[in-house]
Amino acid sequence: MKNSRASGTFITVQGTSIIKLFIFSLLFMFIVFSVSGLLTSIKPEYRLASASVNEAAHNVNGELLYQLMGWENHYFLKSEKDLTSGPKLANLVFKLSSNINLNDPRSLLGRELPGFYQFDGKIIVAGEGTNYTNMPMESAPPIEIMKQEREASLQNLESLDQPKDEGTTPPPSPSQTTGGRKVIYLYFTHNRESYLPYLKGVTNPNLAYHSQINVTRIGDKLKESLESRGIGTEVNKTDVMGNLVKKGLKMPSAYQESRPVVASAMASNRDLHYFIDIHRDSRRRDDTTVTINGKSYAKLSFIIGGKNPNYEKNEKLATDLHNLLQKKYKGLSWGVIEKKGAGENGKYNQDLNGSTILIEFGGVDNTFDELNRSADALADVFSEYYWQAEKVNSTVPAQGS
């Protein structure tokens, strides 16, 4: 009888290999936790933005998913659409890695030409004559212009206190009001943006800034017009640009400076629901003026930041107002523009509330007669929008005047 011996497989593992693997694992975990800790501990304004991830999610639509699945299962390519000619994965990868969209040459020019990034916006809703050659622009003034001691002398002020628009009939007493509640909040991130007709000897649009005669006057007129239609309105005239000078900050920090102003208003008055940041465009008169029923108006532009979680709500508000303006004041609205590219804030404090918008009132060449007409027109359509929304939502009962 022969002795049998069970056969087996033997694996020899060197002790040095286990040690190396253990050290590598510890080092990898240390790096991961260190990097993640660093990214979460730094101040929000210095954190890296996930623009590439957001752009990837935006571009991965249904057709691209079908195309990717079709590479493994050809059944998905047998749909009614010809998905084989759909989105190109190579184009998407190139766009995400270089931030250059082959279908939009502005994405390349904006990175190479100084100042061209100002045109790097997206037209969500176009008004009459709106295209990518006449995009709204904001120009930062030289730091010395922001200082009061270098301000220009004023002119043409005698017309500002005269009765406005003899042909305009004041609205009758409102049939419904918000009572003592303030529901609309007006503020000015670039509060010293002014208009050339009132600045003596100034012809350069980049120098159209003043601490006294500026966009805050539009806030006064808009408040007056809204309240004449029963809608309580609050105006905040914090000198944001003056604060920038005191703190030694530059224009890109303006929205960080106005943010506490808006946040404080939201916290102190729960009745406030709509927040409007009033600005002035840098474009010239031909682009910012329209004639309606024989009278000239300063065009309005609605700017929506594309980098905030309330984007869809803010966009809908701006679009609804644009559509109402098109019906009653055709041509007054330039349109609704999304901005989120390089050199742009991309939020404009609109992440604080779903009913927050930025409105550009005219350009550097417009007069307050034109601006006031536009303020009246905006108040007209806004009141229509507001009371309709109140009726539909039934959240706040209207009070008799």
Distance CA 361, CA 193 (A): 10
Could you give the C-alpha distances from 283 to 62, 131, 223, 360, in angstroms and in order? 39, 14, 25, 11
Stretch 106-135: mean pLDDT: 59
CB 370 within 8 A of CB 298: yes
| Residue of 277, 301, 281, 300 lying closest to 373 (CA atoms) | 300
Query: Residue 92: which pLDDT band, with cuts at 50, 70 and 90?
Result: low
- Of 240 and 154, the one with more pLDDT: 240
**3-class secondary structure, 313:** helix
Stretch 152-180: mean pLDDT: 70
Give the DSSP H/E element, type plus range, for residue 290. Answer: strand 289-292
| Residue of 333, 310, 193, 325 lying closest to 262 (CA atoms) | 310
pLDDT at 69: 66
CB 213 within 8 A of CB 193: no
CB 156 within 8 A of CB 380: no
Place of tokens 């009001």: 177
Distance CA 54, CA 95 (A): 12
Residues near 370 by Cβ (< 8 Å), separated by ≥ 6?
A: 289, 296, 297, 298, 362
pLDDT at 35: 74
What are the φ/ψ torsions at residue 182 (nearest 5 degrees)?
Answer: -95, 120
- Of 43 and 147, the one with more pLDDT: 147
Interval 3-52: pLDDT, tens:
545 455 555 556 677 787 778 888 888 887 777 777 666 554 444 444 44
pLDDT at 50: 43
Query: Residue 272: which pLDDT band, with cuts at 50, 70 and 90?
Result: very high
Question: What is the residue-averaged pLDDT of the chain?
Answer: 76
pLDDT at 153: 83
Query: Residue 394: which pLDDT band, with cuts at 50, 70 and 90?
Result: low
10 Å Cβ neighbour count for 254? Answer: 21
- Of 105 and 400, the one with more pLDDT: 105
**Domain chopping of the chain, boundaries:** 52-103, 148-393
Stretch 361-374: mean pLDDT: 93
Residue 79 reports pLDDT greater than 70: no
**3-class secondary structure, 115:** coil
* Residue range 148-393 in CATH 3.40.190.80: no
User: Torsion-angle region of residue 380: left (phi > 0), alpha (psi -120 to 50) or beta?
Assistant: alpha
CB 176 within 8 A of CB 387: yes
Give the DSSP H/E element, type plus range, for residue 24. Answer: helix 15-41
- Annotate 224-267 with DSSP letters as a single string: HHHHTTT--EEE----HHHHHHHHT--GGGHHHHHHHHHHHHHH
Instruction: Give this prediction's pTM.
Output: 0.68
CB 154 within 8 A of CB 213: yes
Residue 361 reports pLDDT greater than 80: yes
| Tokens (6 digits) for 345 | 């804030």
Distance CA 184, CA 179 (A): 13
CB 361 within 8 A of CB 371: yes
Distance CA 194, CA 209 (A): 5
CB 209 within 8 A of CB 146: yes
